[in-house]
């Protein structure tokens, strides 16, 4: 169990660093890693990732950006409200989908985001 505890801590640290650098972490790193390394089901990985985000995990990173004038407080509060409402809707919707459909939708989302970033790089 200590091994898995260290694994979970390492996943959190990696997601924290990526969150601070790129603003990502949960869906892009935590969920796939929990499925691949910890053998979590997709839905358990999704739920665990969301539960880990309940705490103010981005507080230190956000504060560093805020100190340098790189936080739009109004936008972040509205986004947080949207996340609060949307996470509940999304979690309920994912429970209705078969796992294979959920995995495929996630893959399509990642590819679409990668293509969009590739096309708009440097712009």
DSSP secondary structure, the chain, as one string: -HHHHHHHHHHHHHHHHHHHHHS--IIIIIHHHHHHTS---HHHHHHHHHHHTSS-TTHHHHHHHHHTT---HHHHHHHHHHHHHHHHHHHHHHHHS-HHHHHHHHHHHHHHHHHHHHHTTT-
pLDDT given at position 88: 86
Determine the Cα–Cα distance for residues 106 and 99; give it in Å rounded to an integer.
11
Pick the range with the lowest mean pLDDT from 7-16, 17-26, 33-42, 78-87: 17-26
- Is 69 a residue whose pLDDT tops 70? yes
Domain range summary for the chain, segments of one domain joined by +: 2-119
The owner of tokens 């986004």 is 79
pLDDT given at position 1: 56
Mean pLDDT of 2-9: 85
> pLDDT tens across 54-65, in order?
767 778 888 888
- Angle of CA points 71, 118, 19, to nearest 5°: 35
| pTM confidence score | 0.67
> pLDDT tens across 76-113, in order?
888 778 878 888 888 888 889 899 998 898 889 889 88
């Amino acid at each position: 169990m200590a091994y898995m505890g260290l694994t979970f801590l390492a996943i959190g640290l990696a997601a924290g660093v990526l969150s601070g650098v790129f603003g990502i972490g949960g869906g892009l790193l935590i969920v796939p890693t929990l499925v691949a390394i910890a053998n979590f089901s997709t839905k358990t990985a999704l739920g665990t990732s969301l539960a880990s985000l309940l705490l103010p995990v981005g507080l230190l990173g956000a504060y560093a950006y805020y100190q340098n004038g790189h936080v739009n407080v109004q936008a972040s509060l509205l986004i947080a409200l949207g996340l609060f409402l949307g996470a509940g809707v999304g979690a309920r919707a994912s429970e209705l989908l078969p796992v294979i459909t959920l995995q495929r939708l996630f893959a399509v989302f990642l590819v679409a985001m990668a293509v969009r970033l590739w096309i708009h790089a440097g712009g």
